[in-house]
Amino acid sequence: MSAEDMEMKHRGSDQQNGSLTAKEPPGVETVQLKKRVGLFSGVALIVGTMIGSGIFVSPKGVLREVGGVGPSLLVWTGCGVISMMGALTYAELGTMIKESGGEYAYLFKAFGPIPAFLFQWTNVILLKPSSLSAIALSFAIYVGQPFYPACVVPDAVVKFLAAVCIVLVTSLNCISVKVAARIQVFFTAIKVLALGVIIGVGIYSLAIGNTLWLTPEKAFQTGHTITISDVGLAFYQGLWAYDGWNNLNFVTEEIQNPVRNLPLAIMISIPLVTLLYVLANVAYFSVMTPSELLASGAVAVTLGNRFLGVMSWVIPFAVVCSTFGACNGSCFAASRLCYTAARKGHMVEILSMIHVKLLTPSPALMFNSFIALIMIIPNDFDAIINYFSFAAWMFYGSTCLSHIVMRFTQPDAERPIRTPVIFPALVVIASLYLIVAPIISEPNLWYLYAAIFILAGLLFYFPFVYFGYHPPFMKYITMFLQLLMNVSPPTEAPKDV
């Protein structure tokens, strides 16, 4: 069955499922998501989701794997280069296929419904909620630390604060897209300013002579032989901090003039974040020795305590704002994937609906956040990063492969921008390395669990999507939830711009 047949089949089954089409409220032309994301808010979405907890938590993760300052800085720079090549590849795909959903839309177009379904299955059920929960846990640690200055913040407190963060962000996104976008811009400005303060402290520290660990003699002292697995795990940690470079592609249908603003936002955001990350790491190593950095529970806070005196509270406050903004951006983008997949019949129908007055995908937002709330229970940050990176890069590589494939299968498709094929090819190679190298060097059962989880999606795809089976009781649940949440299917398909 072709991708087009699948879409027609889903459209034809809407009425059979018993969903209600709400009347449009006064003053609203259609019930659908509006184009409210401009260039500035697009940059804020990318920068704001990339700069979250990673730069404040992962520096020691990268250093722990490679063992030296010099290799650590090279890994951070390499992560930026990989992210830029991937983002430029996505820029071509996003201007060619003007649909929300990011990788889901591109895999659907290039390879058909099964790879797209497995992507959304893995991301909606695991990757996006785990990303949101991990950022919320970092938020909670920084919020709770001032109240427990002499000890570690209790797990119960961390989990409670993380849950409050997720619920608050979800509520704001359900209320208004415009409010969510403005919040994103505001908190992005704060986090960039925070990194500016850290970099400024680093410049001052270097100026007074604290350059020991940045000299060639010291910078490349690793203390151990760096293995292939070490490099792969270091990139896992660094790329966690860069994750979010693809988030604007999840909201393509809501971007004003996507042909211009999508690639331009990418080309502004990724180099900016890469520069900030590398300079922030230089600042850390100018203030702390590698062993001190590894021992610090909150690297940015340690830096602030040493150099900012009575104003040291500025750093943890800025980190709280940074992680909250990243939660907001993650929630915003993840809900669009869930919404888009449901619109094509790959998720339950209620998740494809929009609030008839607020015009937000509130069911998809609530679903994503509900899973994220469950995922804060384990509170294992490193496991979340490794699991997230392993599965995510499988799909990043597959999506870049789709770019190469469509150059041959759809050579005449309109491409407002054309990315050199070498970029997606290098990202595919990097993805294979990040997937295979750690497995070969350090076999672990959780890699097998990840593969089993991804393939388990087929158990749901064939009965409920391919064969179109709908349990009779689902139409009553759908109608009940529609009335409860005041939502309706979109009354008009989004138009390309």
Residue 87 CB contacts under 8 Å (≥ 6 apart), including other chains: 245, 246, 266, 269, 270
Helix (H) or strand (E) holding 355: strand 354-355
Does the pLDDT at position 30 exceed 80?
no
Does the pLDDT at position 23 exceed 70?
no
Average pLDDT over residues 94-103: 92
Give helix then strand counts, H and E, for the chain.
22, 2
The reply to whether 1 falls in a domain is: no
In three-state secondary structure terms, 256 is coil
Whether 17 contacts 474, CB under 8 Å = yes
Residue 470 CB contacts under 8 Å (≥ 6 apart), including other chains: 13, 16, 17, 464
Does the pLDDT at position 25 exceed 60?
no
Average pLDDT over residues 61-73: 88
Average pLDDT over residues 329-339: 92
Residue 60 to residue 299: CA distance in whole angstroms: 8
The CATH number linked to 201 is: 1.20.1740.10
Identify the weakest region by mean pLDDT among 5-9, 40-44, 60-64, 440-444.
5-9
* pLDDT value of position 339: 93
The reply to whether 465 falls in a domain is: yes
Does the pLDDT at position 28 exceed 50?
no
Whether 188 contacts 49, CB under 8 Å = no
Share of the chain above pLDDT 90, in %: 51
* pLDDT value of position 442: 72
* pLDDT value of position 402: 96
- Largest CA-CA distance found in the chain, in angstroms, rounded: 73
Domain that holds residue 202: 39-488
Does the pLDDT at position 440 exceed 70?
yes
Tokens standing for residue 447: 């890699």
Residue 287 to residue 297: CA distance in whole angstroms: 15
Does the pLDDT at position 16 exceed 70?
no
Closest CA to 387 of 61, 120, 130: 130
Average pLDDT over residues 282-288: 91
Average pLDDT over residues 142-149: 83
The reply to whether 18 falls in a domain is: no
Residue 164 to residue 445: CA distance in whole angstroms: 33
Average pLDDT over residues 18-29: 53
Between strands 487-488 and 354-355, the pairing is antiparallel
Residue 485 to residue 50: CA distance in whole angstroms: 32
The reply to whether 129 falls in a domain is: yes
Number of domain units in the chain: 1
Which position has the higher pLDDT, 383 or 275? 275
The reply to whether 496 falls in a domain is: no
Does the pLDDT at position 36 exceed 70?
yes
Does the pLDDT at position 117 exceed 70?
yes
Please, which residues bridge with residue 255 across strands? 37
Please, which residues bridge with residue 37 across strands? 255
Q: What's the pLDDT band for 490 if we cut at 50, 70, 90?
A: confident
Residue 56 to residue 59: CA distance in whole angstroms: 7
Q: Is 195 exposed, middle or buried (0-12, 13-18, 19+ CB in 10 A)?
A: buried
Residue 52 to residue 135: CA distance in whole angstroms: 7
Task: Answer left, alpha or beta for residue 291, where phi above 0 means left and psi between -120 and 50 means alpha.
Answer: alpha
Average pLDDT over residues 169-193: 92
* pLDDT value of position 138: 83
* pLDDT value of position 9: 54
Identify the weakest region by mean pLDDT among 119-123, 313-317, 320-324, 435-439.
435-439
Q: CA torsion, points 153, 326, 318, 262, in degrees to nearest 10? A: 170
Does the pLDDT at position 389 exceed 70?
no
Whether 9 contacts 3, CB under 8 Å = no
Q: What's the pLDDT band for 295 if we cut at 50, 70, 90?
A: confident
- Give the chain's mean pLDDT: 86
* pLDDT value of position 15: 45
Average pLDDT over residues 50-76: 83
Whether 243 contacts 84, CB under 8 Å = no
Q: What is the per-residue pLDDT across 189-247, written as a single tens digit (0 to 9) for each?
A: 998 998 999 999 999 999 999 888 888 888 888 777 888 778 888 887 788 788 889 99
The reply to whether 5 falls in a domain is: no
The reply to whether 11 falls in a domain is: no
Share of the chain above pLDDT 70, in %: 90
* pLDDT value of position 106: 95
Q: What is the per-residue pLDDT across 247-284, written as a single tens digit (0 to 9) for each?
A: 999 999 889 999 999 999 999 999 999 999 999 999 99
Does the pLDDT at position 420 exceed 70?
yes
Tokens 């988030």, located at residue: 247
* pLDDT value of position 276: 94
The reply to whether 154 falls in a domain is: yes
* pLDDT value of position 2: 52
* pLDDT value of position 26: 52
